[in-house]
Amino acid sequence: MKILSAAQTRAADAYTIAQEPISSIDLMERASGAVADWLKQKYSPEVPFYFFCGPGNNGGDGMAVARLLHHDGYDVQVFLVETGQNQSADFSQNLERLPQAIPVTNVQTTSDLPAVPLKAVIVDGLFGTGLSRPLEGIYAEVVEYLNQHQGTVVSIDIPSGLFTDAPTPAQTAVIKADYTLTFEQPKLAFLLPASGSYAGEWHVLPIGLHPEFLAQVETPHQLLTHGLIENVLRPRSRFSHKGTFGHALLVGGSYGKMGAITMSAHAALRAGLGLLTVQVPTTGYTILQTAVPEAMVLTDAHEQHLSQFPEDLSKYQCLGIGPGLGQAEDSRLAMESLFRQKLPPLILDADALNLLASDRLLRQNLPANSILTPHPKEFERLTGPATDDFHRLQLLQSFCAEHDCYVILKGAHTCIGTPTEEFFFNTTGNPGMATGGTGDVLTGILTALRAQGYSPLETCQLGVYLHGLAGDIAAEVEGEASLIASDLYKYLGAAFRKIHLNQK
Ligand SMILES: NC(=O)C1=CN([C@@H]2O[C@H](COP(=O)(O)OP(=O)(O)OC[C@H]3O[C@@H](n4cnc5c(N)ncnc54)[C@H](OP(=O)(O)O)[C@@H]3O)[C@@H](O)[C@H]2O)[C@@H](O)CC1
Ligand SMILES: Nc1ncnc2c1ncn2[C@@H]1O[C@H](COP(=O)(O)OP(=O)(O)O)[C@@H](O)[C@H]1O
Ligand SMILES: [K+]
């Protein structure tokens, strides 16, 4: 699913109005109808609704929804916040359409604001994608007042005060919504850490924007959806054998950190791999052979950390390096000499990334099409600090382009950066996964998928989505708080099944 900018949303709107054709006011009615339906499904008519509307089309939506709920027997009130100037045409028309029975209050100062009962739902229709500057004056005061409401706040399209596709300056007034009912596509701001929490739980409501426009519009940002993944995952053919599914080599582990590489190994095997070899320092030999009997084990010459790679790498279809590796000087030198050879596809994680960050020669020699899996701190070590989330996306794009590589920037909505300037945001996963070792599991999954012949992009898309889906299934069974990294490979099979099931 494409993620449109505010300008593209306006263009989609205009295209739909011209080509469907449909009048602007009718399109607003359709959008408002979708919001009203969602609210009616969730709340009974006993729940009072307080609508706060601004001067633009977001305010127009607010009034239309209020009218639709009123007609279905809901108790609604409308508060028009400083809407004297700049009223959009559809705002004015919806103001005229408001039935007399709905109380309307003009809010000029905070003394005009009501005491909102706890059980009431506030609907925020102050500003939408037309926000052109941070909120100030009465608008900021109203937002701060509404943010004190202990009950539920539902934003229409986007929390008021939040910019759709640009950084929202810190310390400015933004509605903190419990729910955001957004039209047609999620907004980029919902997917980024600093702004995402304002949207609360967001739901995408289709409003019938013209499919031709959506098919043609070019946008760098996309959502990783179930539909996309179904087309990537390949079935296993009846006459396949272990050679069909690749032989991968995982390298990592150091004294005190053998668990990381052990979990990567388990995950790789659960991700459909044919054969797995793991190379660990000598201290890890018994641990690996005992914990993961399905894997073959090579030992490093060094007892406690990596000091060399196997000479012959030609039999491996993918090489995953990093979980539990440590950052010994020996290991850095081993990586330098590795990067001078002809290599199978690479997945780099954890300390392999830290070594990369500390060594310019390594970065220069990074093989094309490598997949890197940093969390934000590791990413910062690679690129330097970002001033905000949008700047971080620019850094992601330039790093991928410069090194011709794929970077999986991990987080609540993990973002896959590509050398072709496309970004994919993940939709699976949950806060239960914020626990040690979950990244090591991802490395194992990616290594296995790449070894099976998935392209770098397919590997990133499938790996990230499956990892989060396994996390979601694990959270359903175990609960978020109790989720641990090994649950991710325990439920990986269920995640695969969920995708295959939909394919049939
Ligand atoms: N295709 C779709 O998705 C559909 C979208 N629809 C709905 O339309 C919404 C977008 O509507 P919109 O363009 O009228 O913008 P909206 O945010 O209501 O207000 C803009 C007004 O506010 C003003 N203004 C801006 N910033 C300000 C500030 N800080 N402080 C004070 N004023 C400020 C600005 O003035 P100006 O910038 O010109 O000074 C202008 O007058 C969208 O979010 C969705 O709800 C549906 O109805 C139909 C299909
Ligand atoms: N709140 C969250 N929602 C969804 N996924 C999350 C959340 N927090 C963490 N994750 C996922 O968990 C993994 C954590 O990886 P990482 O930080 O490398 O952990 P570790 O180093 O302990 O293995 C990433 O894949 C990340 O996307
Ligand atoms: K809003």
pLDDT digits (tens, 9 = 90+) for 284-335: 999 999 999 999 999 999 999 999 999 999 999 999 999 999 999 999 999 9
Contact 467, 487 (CB under 8 A): no
DSSP symbol at 255: T
Which sign does the torsion angle of CA 180, 146, 188, 164 carry? positive
Atom of ligand 1 minimally distant from the CA of 88: 14
Annotated binding residue 462: no
Which sign does the torsion angle of CA 242, 243, 249, 255 carry? positive
What is the domain-level CATH number for residue 497? 3.40.1190.20
From residue 330, give the alpha-carbon distance in Å to each of 252, 320, 324, 327, 336: 13, 18, 15, 8, 10
Examine the fold and report which residue of 188, 219, 250 is the final residue of a domain before the chain moves on: 219
The whole-angstrom separation of Cα 229 and Cα 457 is 11
Q: How many C-beta neighbours within 10 Å does residue 234 have?
A: 13
Q: Is residue 1 part of a domain?
A: no
* Position with higher pLDDT, 11 vs 504: 11
Q: Is residue 245 part of a domain?
A: yes
Based on the domain organization, do 92 and 167 belong to the same domain?
yes
Q: Is residue 148 part of a domain?
A: yes
Paired strand residues for 125 = 53
Pocket, ligand 1, Cβ cutoff 6 A: 9, 12-13, 27-28, 31, 54-61, 86, 88, 127-135, 139, 156-157, 183-184, 207, 209
Q: What digits encode the pLDDT tens for the residues 89-137?
A: 999 999 999 999 999 999 999 999 999 999 999 999 999 999 999 999 9
DSSP symbol at 365: T
Q: How many domains does the chain have?
A: 2
ipTM for the predicted complex comes to: 0.94
Domain that holds residue 430: 227-503
3-state SS of 405-442 is: CEEEECCCCCEEECCCCCEEECCCCCHHHCCCCHHHHH
pLDDT band of residue 243 (cuts 50, 70, 90) is: confident
Classify each residue of 473-487 as buried b or exposed e, where b means 16 or more C-beta atoms within 10 Å of its C-beta. bbbeeeebeebbbbb
- Calculate how far, in angstroms, residue 130's C-alpha sits from the geometric centre of ligand 1: 3
Annotated binding residue 129: yes
Quick one: which of 152, 230, 239 has its CA closest to 458? 230
What is the domain-level CATH number for residue 81? 3.40.50.10260
Contacts of 324 (CB under 8 A, 6+ apart): 252, 253, 254, 257, 258, 259, 260, 261, 350, 351, 440
Name the average pLDDT for the chain.
96
The one-letter amino acid code at 16 reads: T
The whole-angstrom separation of Cα 238 and Cα 344 is 27
Residue 501: the pLDDT is 76
Phi/psi for 250 (5° steps) reads -110, 135
Residue 131: the pLDDT is 97
Residue 502 has pLDDT above 60, yes or no: yes
Based on the domain organization, do 179 and 261 belong to the same domain?
no
Strands of 281-397, DSSP E: 296-299, 318-321, 346-348, 371-372
Residue 241 has pLDDT above 90, yes or no: no
Q: What digits encode the pLDDT tens for the residues 439-475?
A: 999 999 999 999 999 999 999 999 999 999 999 999 9
Annotated binding residue 94: no
Examine the fold and report which residue of 219, 240, 269 is the final residue of a domain before the chain moves on: 219
- The CB-side HSE value for 353 (13 A sphere, CA atoms) comes to 26
Q: Is residue 405 part of a domain?
A: yes
pLDDT band of residue 84 (cuts 50, 70, 90) is: confident
10 Å CB burial of residue 493 (0-12, 13-18, 19+) is middle
Annotated binding residue 57: yes
Atom of ligand 1 minimally distant from the CA of 12: 1
Atom of ligand 2 minimally distant from the CA of 414: 27
Based on the domain organization, do 280 and 245 belong to the same domain?
yes
Strands of 103-156, DSSP E: 104-107, 121-125, 152-156
Residue 504: the pLDDT is 57
Examine the fold and report which residue of 219, 247, 281 is the final residue of a domain before the chain moves on: 219
- Which residues are close to ligand 3, an ion, with C-beta < 5 A? 58, 124, 155-156, 160
Contact 38, 183 (CB under 8 A): no
Q: Is residue 65 part of a domain?
A: yes
Q: Is residue 392 part of a domain?
A: yes
Based on the domain organization, do 214 and 251 belong to the same domain?
no
Based on the domain organization, do 273 and 164 belong to the same domain?
no
